[in-house]
Structure 1
Amino acid sequence: MKFQCYCLSLLAGIFFSGAVLAQQNETKLPPQATEFYEPEVKPVTPGQENHLPPADAIVLFGGNDLNAWVSERDGSFPKWKVEDGILTVAPKTGGIKTKEAFGDVQVHLEWRAPSEVSGNGQGRGNSGFFFMGKYELQILDSYDNKTYSNGQAASIYKQHPPLVNAMRPPGEWNTYDAVFTAPRFNSNGMLISPARITVFHNGILVQNNVELKGPTEYIGIPNYVAHPEQLPFHIQDHSNPVSFRNIWVRRLD
């Protein structure tokens, strides 16, 4: 019995040491460790489309005001610009988040990278739409713009590259239509089912009910930590003047 207890203690010590070592190694990872460039994503030219919100949609931005949003920094009224029915990031003022919280949803948003091309890679037309403030659908000017495949437009950032690159040229409007299923946790905080997402970019399927590995991480491996069943959406200020219009959501839960 003593020998059996000793073996169990030794195994527990090995597993604990391994977990600590893995955690220490992860903290030393550079961001490039979770980026990949192959395979490259094939470009596909999208068709034309026009989307109006359905009758049961909650309109988060319809072109008039930002009353559905607050600053993610301090909860104040956002400093982003609304002009001619278009919402544009005010660089370095911080991201915005919805006043309402959401779980399972259908989301529609339209976005436009600046017509004047500036920068390259991740520095060109960069923003992001975060489901539950944690799971990022990447926004980036990926039209003839080389970057890592799991960081380009319509990727689930640092997790899943899009099936194809459906970008329109800079200055033209893009649409995202997404169905997001929130993760489930039990009463002890253990993950029961991971988040899943399906995304159409300009009417083309680019994410087919993919499983999310955890919240978005810039550095390191994503891991789930229990959180509320509903949380606000976030839109990122990545210091680029990306524009938005026609943002609406339907609750599915």
Structure 2
Amino acid sequence: MTQRLLLTACLLSMAAFTQAQKVNRAGGDPKLSEYWEPEVKVVAPGKTAADAPADAIVLFDGSNTSAWEAKNGGPIKWKVENGAMTVTGGAGEIHTTQGFGDCQLHIEWRTPEVVKGEGQGRGNSGIFLMGKYELQVLDSYNNRTYSNGQAGSIYKQLPPMANASRGPGEWQTYDIIFTAPVFYPDGNVKTQARITVIHNGVLVQNNATIWGSTQYIGIANYEKHGEKEPLILQDHGNPVSFRNIWIRPL
């Protein structure tokens, strides 16, 4: 046997030994730890990360507001133009006609380009998951306010991990993963709600535990509610705009 053949034989032997070690470390046949059913469903993604995937429910596409209604029912009174819907004075909050629980939510928002006010009086609105758990919307660009009340906060509960705000008049994005709370029949909390929020591509809430329903005064607390509840957009008196809203029930 030539030296080259001997070297080749040694290399093949070492490769076989290494493979055998891997199989032994895995406890035998690697196929034993594979499963093929159920097959993972196919979801066609949007053309970009902002576009709704195939299985999403489009809540606002820039013109059609049929997925929303006024607080006391009927058509919304917000201004709809240029692909956005904007809070108008005294129009009131709006909520979805459909209820949601666990979900993935994409929503884009914009505070006024002309800055008026400061702190909580500047570009204020809110997104209420299940109508009860508020993710704050606020112009937090060079605008100091209490940390658990700025953009990206779970209002009056959890401050964001970072201030990722764009300037006034610029469109901003929230990508949200929300896990609804679960209640025992007697109303006690079995599992609290949890939320992950990415603000303009920056993680600001990381699977955070929500303390309870949002309270302006006092400590947040849970009250038993349905497994699916409407999404609410707040009218806080500022002309905040929203566009490209879609949701995936999970």
TM-score (norm 1): 0.79
| Residue 14 of structure 1: aligned partner | none
Question: Which runs of 5 or more residues in structure 2 are unaligned?
Answer: 1-47
Tell me the secondary structure at the aligned position of residue 99 of structure 1.
strand
Q: Provide the C-alpha distance between the structure 2 equivalents of 1:216 and 1:87, rounded to a whole number of angstroms.
A: 24
**Post-superposition offset of 1:93:** 1.4
Q: Which has the higher contact order (CA 8 A, sep 6+)?
A: 1
Tell me the secondary structure at the aligned position of residue 144 of structure 1.
coil
Paired residues in the alignment total 203
**Post-superposition offset of 1:155:** 0.2
| Residue 237 of structure 1: aligned partner | 235
**Post-superposition offset of 1:50:** 5.7
Q: Which has the larger radius of gyration?
A: 2
Q: Provide the C-alpha distance between the structure 1 equivalents of 2:209 and 2:122, rounded to a whole number of angstroms.
A: 27
* Structure 1 position 224 matched with structure 2 position 206: no
Please show how residues 62-211 of structure 1 align to structure 2 within 5 Å: 62-72=61-71, 74-211=72-209
Instruction: Note if contact 1:138-1:153 (Cα within 8 Å) is conserved in structure 2.
Output: yes
Tell me the secondary structure at the aligned position of residue 175 of structure 2.
strand
Aligned-residue sequence identity (percent) comes to 61
Q: Provide the C-alpha distance between the structure 2 equivalents of 1:143 and 1:68, rounded to a whole number of angstroms.
A: 31
Q: Provide the C-alpha distance between the structure 2 equivalents of 1:223 and 1:116, rounded to a whole number of angstroms.
A: 36
* Structure 1 position 58 matched with structure 2 position 57: yes
Q: Provide the C-alpha distance between the structure 2 equivalents of 1:108 and 1:241, rounded to a whole number of angstroms.
A: 20
Instruction: Pick which of 84-93 and 240-249 moved more.
Output: 84-93
Q: Provide the C-alpha distance between the structure 1 equivalents of 2:82 and 2:91, rounded to a whole number of angstroms.
A: 21
Instruction: Note if contact 1:92-1:238 (Cα within 8 Å) is conserved in structure 2.
Output: no
Tell me the secondary structure at the aligned position of residue 233 of structure 1.
strand
Q: Provide the C-alpha distance between the structure 2 equivalents of 1:227 and 1:184, rounded to a whole number of angstroms.
A: 9
CA deviation string 1:41-67 (max 9, x = no partner): xxxxxxxx8611111110000001211
Tell me the secondary structure at the aligned position of residue 246 of structure 1.
strand
Tell me the secondary structure at the aligned position of residue 148 of structure 2.
helix
Q: Provide the C-alpha distance between the structure 2 equivalents of 1:209 and 1:92, rounded to a whole number of angstroms.
A: 35
Q: What one-letter code is carried by the residue in structure 1 that aligns with 2:234? A: Q
Instruction: Pick which of 82-91 and 176-185 moved more.
Output: 82-91
Q: Provide the C-alpha distance between the structure 1 equivalents of 2:140 and 2:49, rounded to a whole number of angstroms.
A: 22
Over 3 Å off, 4+ runs = none
Question: Which runs of 5 or more residues in structure 1 are unaligned?
Answer: 1-48
Q: Provide the C-alpha distance between the structure 1 equivalents of 2:190 and 2:124, rounded to a whole number of angstroms.
A: 33
| Residue 250 of structure 1: aligned partner | 248
**Post-superposition offset of 1:84:** 1.4
Tell me the secondary structure at the aligned position of residue 161 of structure 2.
coil
Q: Provide the C-alpha distance between the structure 1 equivalents of 2:79 and 2:179, rounded to a whole number of angstroms.
A: 31
Tell me the secondary structure at the aligned position of residue 232 of structure 1.
strand
CA deviation string 1:94-144 (max 9, x = no partner): 100000000000000000000000110000000000000000000000000
Q: Provide the C-alpha distance between the structure 2 equivalents of 1:234 and 1:51, rounded to a whole number of angstroms.
A: 21
TM-score (norm 2): 0.80
